[in-house]
Amino acid sequence: MTRKRSTKTTTADAANETAPVWAASGEAPPEDATAVAVQTRSAERFFRCGLQFSREWRFVSRDSLSATDWQRLLAEPHLRVQGVTRTAAPSETDEGVPQ
């Protein structure tokens, strides 16, 4: 018996189509940063501010933490924190347009 794969778009799929794409900037985050990219400096995993970090970049939004936790995260010596470059995901109107 072969199951046909659904092509139905869920709410989560629709949200992901227009969700911003973040990338680590390679530089320290600016003082007014709204998000940062964070990874551990050497450990497999490390917990800070109720969040788990690893060697993979994790993107943290400023509004997801209290002001105290935000400052604690930025000052943590066991973590590498960089600013982020935020770009919009390609829209449907970009289809067929040479990039």
| Mean local confidence (pLDDT), 25-38 | 91
The pLDDT value given to residue 23: 85
Answer yes or no: is pLDDT of 20 > 80.
Answer: no
d(CA 55, CA 76): 15
pLDDT tens digits along 33-74: 999 999 999 999 999 999 999 999 999 999 999 999 999 999
Domain regions of the chain by residue span: 33-89
User: Residue written as tokens 């936790």?
Assistant: 69
Query: How far is C-alpha 73 from the chain's CA centre?
Result: 15
| Mean local confidence (pLDDT), 71-89 | 89
User: Residue written as tokens 């970009």?
Assistant: 94
The pLDDT value given to residue 65: 97
